[in-house]
């Protein structure tokens, strides 16, 4: 009896020998793919988590500054009832005290408490409203040279009483105009910004970087700044002088209501007249 070899078994041998090699190569390829994906995925995940934390911190610090500024502004409104000048140094100090020096120091605000600025806040002599503007910079978590930052601003208005009551001279009658003692123009509106000065109290160290409404620099008043300036000085939005004294004549306006025909031919104010 002759036994024929099983052809099917012989055919399977090379297949069985090659299967382990294919499996090993597939495993190596899979391991290589997982390694590449992990090298890209983990850093992206960490960066996304960092951005989320950064956004939460931004929202937190903005809410803290807004709430502190509103509370500080309420206190400042009581002070402006006596002296219609907003003390921006005290306003900033109150904001920092309400938030907490330590909290600001470990926040993303660039420069800590010194990075908060309130000098653009003022009391409007026309409406009696207090315009509060708080500016600061926040650090951006980017892996670049230096310390990149972004500027943020929180602003709002709050009513304040300045003791002023209208005397009925609202400029509606065009035959009545308003002039100052040394003025070169007449005004049809009693509440013209040239007549109603917006006075701000700011740190002297900031004077060099501040510009008035026309883009000009501020210089020392020759009437009240004798020698060196005080730690804090007074400025107006439309003026070009800084003052040591709030009672300086450069910060005063003596206004006269006269008939338009009595102005002596002086020209009209470019802001409030026709």
Cα distances from 181 to residues 70, 99, 167, 262, in angstroms, run: 39, 47, 20, 14
Q: What is the pTM of this model?
A: 0.51
The candidate with the shortest Cα–Cα distance to 99, out of 68, 72, 56, is 68
Q: What are 35-49's pLDDT values in tens digits? A: 666 566 777 777 777
Residue 65: pLDDT band by 50, 70, 90 thresholds? Answer: very high
126-157 burial code (b ≥16 CB/10 A, e <16): eebbbbbbbbbbbbeeeeeeeeebeeeebeee
Cα distance between residue 196 and residue 192, in whole Å? 6
Cα distance between residue 104 and residue 62, in whole Å? 11
Lowest mean pLDDT among 41-55, 156-170, 189-203, 218-232: 156-170
Q: Taking a C-beta distance cutoff of 8 angstroms, is the pair 110, 147 a contact?
A: yes
Q: Taking a C-beta distance cutoff of 8 angstroms, is the pair 158, 132 a contact?
A: yes
Q: Taking a C-beta distance cutoff of 8 angstroms, is the pair 218, 234 a contact?
A: no
Residue that wins the pLDDT comparison between 183 and 1: 183
Cα distances from 133 to residues 5, 110, 197, 208, in angstroms, run: 97, 18, 19, 19
Q: How many residues does the chain have?
A: 274
């Amino acid at each position: 009896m002759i036994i024929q070899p099983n052809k099917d078994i012989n055919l399977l041998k090379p297949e069985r020998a090659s299967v382990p090699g294919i499996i090993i190569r597939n495993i190596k390829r899979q391991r290589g793919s997982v390694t590449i994906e992990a090298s890209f995925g983990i850093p992206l995940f960490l960066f996304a988590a960092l951005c989320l934390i950064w956004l939460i911190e931004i929202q937190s610090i903005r809410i803290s500054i807004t709430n502190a500024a509103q509370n500080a502004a309420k206190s400042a409104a009581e002070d402006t009832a006596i002296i219609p000048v907003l003390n921006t140094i005290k306003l900033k100090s109150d904001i920092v005290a309400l938030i907490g020096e330590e909290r600001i120091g470990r926040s993303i605000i660039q420069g800590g408490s010194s990075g908060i600025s309130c000098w653009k806040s003022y009391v409007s002599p026309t409406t009696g409203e207090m315009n509060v503007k708080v500016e600061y910079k926040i650090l951006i978590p980017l892996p670049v040279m230096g310390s990149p930052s972004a500027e943020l601003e929180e602003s709002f208005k709050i009513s304040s009483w300045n003791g002023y009551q209208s005397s009925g001279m609202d400029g509606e009658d065009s035959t009545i105009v308003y002039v100052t003692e040394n003025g070169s123009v007449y005004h049809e509106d009693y509440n013209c910004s040239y007549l109603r000065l917006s006075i701000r109290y700011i740190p002297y160290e900031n004077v060099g970087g501040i510009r008035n409404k026309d883009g000009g620099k501020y210089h020392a008043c020759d009437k009240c700044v004798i020698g060196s300036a005080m730690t804090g000085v007074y400025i107006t939005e439309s003026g070009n002088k800084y003052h040591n004294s709030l009672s300086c004549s450069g910060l005063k306006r003596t206004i006269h209501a006269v008939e338009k025909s009595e102005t002596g031919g002086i020209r009209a104010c470019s802001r409030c007249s026709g």
